[in-house]
Amino acid sequence: MAAFDTTRPAYGAAPVAGQIKGFFSALIAKYVAWNDQRVTRNALHALTDRELDDIGLSRGDIDVVATK
Protein backbone atom coordinates (compact mmCIF):
# COMPACT_ATOMS: atom_id res chain seq x y z
CA MET A 1 0.00 0.00 0.00
CA ALA A 2 1.36 3.42 -0.90
CA ALA A 3 1.23 6.38 1.44
CA PHE A 4 1.15 10.04 0.54
CA ASP A 5 2.58 12.49 3.07
CA THR A 6 0.43 15.62 3.18
CA THR A 7 2.13 17.23 6.16
CA ARG A 8 5.08 18.63 4.20
CA PRO A 9 4.74 21.31 1.53
CA ALA A 10 5.39 20.40 -2.07
CA TYR A 11 8.87 20.93 -3.45
CA GLY A 12 9.42 24.63 -4.08
CA ALA A 13 6.26 25.74 -2.28
CA ALA A 14 7.96 26.76 0.98
CA PRO A 15 9.96 29.71 -0.43
CA VAL A 16 6.88 31.14 -2.12
CA ALA A 17 4.81 30.69 1.02
CA GLY A 18 7.58 32.33 3.03
CA GLN A 19 7.68 35.28 0.65
CA ILE A 20 3.93 35.72 0.88
CA LYS A 21 4.05 35.47 4.67
CA GLY A 22 6.93 37.96 4.77
CA PHE A 23 5.02 40.39 2.55
CA PHE A 24 1.94 40.32 4.73
CA SER A 25 4.01 40.50 7.92
CA ALA A 26 5.77 43.60 6.61
CA LEU A 27 2.45 45.09 5.53
CA ILE A 28 0.94 44.54 8.97
CA ALA A 29 4.05 45.93 10.68
CA LYS A 30 3.86 49.09 8.56
CA TYR A 31 0.18 49.51 9.40
CA VAL A 32 0.87 49.06 13.13
CA ALA A 33 3.71 51.61 13.01
CA TRP A 34 1.52 54.09 11.11
CA ASN A 35 -1.30 53.66 13.61
CA ASP A 36 1.06 54.16 16.57
CA GLN A 37 2.32 57.37 14.99
CA ARG A 38 -1.24 58.54 14.37
CA VAL A 39 -2.32 57.85 17.96
CA THR A 40 0.77 59.58 19.36
CA ARG A 41 0.30 62.59 17.11
CA ASN A 42 -3.38 62.92 18.08
CA ALA A 43 -2.60 62.59 21.79
CA LEU A 44 0.10 65.27 21.61
CA HIS A 45 -2.10 67.62 19.59
CA ALA A 46 -4.77 67.29 22.29
CA LEU A 47 -2.39 68.73 24.91
CA THR A 48 -2.30 72.42 25.68
CA ASP A 49 0.80 74.52 25.02
CA ARG A 50 1.49 74.56 28.76
CA GLU A 51 1.33 70.76 28.98
CA LEU A 52 3.62 70.41 25.98
CA ASP A 53 6.07 72.85 27.59
CA ASP A 54 6.01 70.76 30.77
CA ILE A 55 7.27 67.73 28.86
CA GLY A 56 9.78 69.80 26.89
CA LEU A 57 8.00 69.95 23.54
CA SER A 58 6.49 72.58 21.31
CA ARG A 59 3.83 72.22 18.64
CA GLY A 60 6.54 72.06 15.99
CA ASP A 61 8.12 69.04 17.65
CA ILE A 62 5.03 66.85 17.51
CA ASP A 63 5.60 65.43 14.01
CA VAL A 64 9.25 64.70 14.75
CA VAL A 65 8.43 62.94 18.03
CA ALA A 66 5.56 60.96 16.54
CA THR A 67 7.70 59.51 13.74
CA LYS A 68 10.41 58.14 16.06
Domain-located, residue 30: no
pLDDT score of 19: 84
In this predicted structure, what is the pLDDT of residue 54?
95
45 located within any domain: yes
Q: 66 and 40 in contact (C-beta within 8 Å)?
A: yes
Q: Which domain holds residue 65?
A: 37-68
Entry pTM: 0.66
Q: Could you tell me if residue 66 is inside a domain?
A: yes
Instruction: Please check whether residue 24 lies inside any domain of the structure.
Output: no
* Tally of domains within the chain: 1
Write down the pLDDT at residue 10: 61
pLDDT of residue 17: 74
Residues of the chain with pLDDT under 70: 1-6, 8-14
Question: pLDDT exceeding 90 applies to what percent of the chain?
Answer: 60
Let me know if residue 29 belongs to a domain. Answer: no
Q: Is the residue at 61 inside a domain?
A: yes
Residue 8 domain-assigned?
no
